[in-house]
């Protein structure tokens, strides 16, 4: 296979090992059938912690977010629109209205927030140090940050489609009361189209 353009990644630094070392360890047998060195393109790893940088015309904000391990959240601003992405976010147990200042900085007034929503409320007490959030906490983050559109992802494989749909409906009702006008569950094939005033859900490509 001819050489391919390089893939550049950005993420939090180690320790105990660099992201390049961790990636090489997991993309190798028995976890993965081929090794990084066998790929036709080079992979470049850029460590980012609390920083701001440009990727082409897009400005990117990276901030550490609470988790059991080192994790970044990101915000992209492009052509007047902003998307905040907060994965693997540890909900503070016993204090469901406390949101880390760095998370609020990432999400402040964003057009779209994509947020971890893995745990149902009754699961949080059993998995309170797993590093994840309930959908209710994701809504609280959106409320405090002044976000109108919330997309929940990082779904637990044990939650079937019906339970996710019920959760979304419940959050939509609550969201309409606190200024979060749109709540969605991320699904394969769903895209969002932004206009000057709003974001709407469509299916297919962007």
> Region 173-193: what's the mean pLDDT?
93
Domain check: are 111 and 89 in the same one?
yes
Domain check: are 60 and 7 in the same one?
no
Residue with tokens 């060195």: 37
Which of 200, 82, 94 lies closest to 147, judged by CA? 82
Domain check: are 74 and 32 in the same one?
no
Residue of higher predicted confidence among 196 and 5: 5
Domains: count for the chain: 2
Give the integer Cα–Cα distance in Å for 185 and 188: 10
- Cα Dmax for the chain: 55
The answer, yes or no, to whether residue 113 has pLDDT greater than 50, is: yes
Give the integer Cα–Cα distance in Å for 194 and 164: 24
- Cα of first residue to Cα of last residue in the chain, in angstroms, is 30
Domain check: are 23 and 113 in the same one?
no
Tokens of 51: 């920083």
pLDDT band for position 4 (50/70/90)?
Answer: confident
- Supply the pTM of this predicted model: 0.88
Domain check: are 40 and 56 in the same one?
no
pLDDT confidence of residue 144: 98
Domain check: are 189 and 113 in the same one?
yes
Domain check: are 55 and 138 in the same one?
yes
Domain check: are 53 and 19 in the same one?
no
Residue with tokens 């990101």: 74
Last residue of a domain, one of 31, 47, 63: 47
Domain check: are 22 and 100 in the same one?
no
> Region 142-161: what's the mean pLDDT?
96
The answer, yes or no, to whether residue 206 has pLDDT greater than 60, is: no
Structural domain that includes position 26: 1-47
Instruction: Annotate 48-112 with DSSP letters as a single string.
Output: -SSEEEEETTEEEEEEE---SS--EEEEEEETTEEEEEE-S--PPTT-TT---HHHHHHHTT-SE
In this structure, what CATH number is given to the domain that contains residue 143?
3.60.15.10
> Region 145-161: what's the mean pLDDT?
96
- Tens of pLDDT, residues 14-50: 778 888 888 888 899 999 999 988 888 989 999 998 9
Domain check: are 133 and 86 in the same one?
yes
Domain check: are 54 and 36 in the same one?
no
The answer, yes or no, to whether residue 204 has pLDDT greater than 70, is: no
- Tens of pLDDT, residues 64-100: 999 998 899 999 999 999 999 999 999 998 899 999 9
């Amino acid at each position: 296979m001819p050489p391919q353009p390089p893939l550049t990644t950005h993420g939090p630094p180690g320790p105990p090992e660099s992201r390049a070392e961790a990636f090489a360890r997991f993309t190798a047998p028995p976890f993965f059938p081929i090794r990084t060195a066998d790929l036709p393109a080079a992979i470049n790893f850029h460590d980012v912690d609390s920083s701001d940088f440009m990727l082409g015309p897009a400005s990117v904000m990276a901030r550490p977010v609470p988790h059991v391990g080192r994790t970044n959240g990101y915000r992209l601003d492009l052509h007047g629109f902003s998307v905040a992405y907060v994965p693997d976010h540890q909900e503070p147990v016993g204090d469901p209205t406390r949101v880390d200042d760095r998370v609020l900085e990432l999400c402040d007034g964003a057009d779209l927030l994509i947020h971890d929503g893995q745990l149902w409320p009754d699961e949080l007490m059993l998995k309170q140090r797993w590093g994840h959030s309930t959908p209710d906490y994701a809504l609280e983050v959106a409320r405090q940050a002044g976000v109108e559109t919330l997309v929940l992802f990082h779904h637990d494989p044990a939650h079937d489609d019906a339970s996710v749909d019920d959760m979304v409906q419940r959050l939509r009702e609550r969201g309409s009361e606190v200024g979060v006008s749109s709540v969605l569950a991320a699904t394969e094939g769903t895209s969002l189209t932004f206009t000057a005033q709003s974001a709407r859900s469509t299916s297919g490509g962007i």
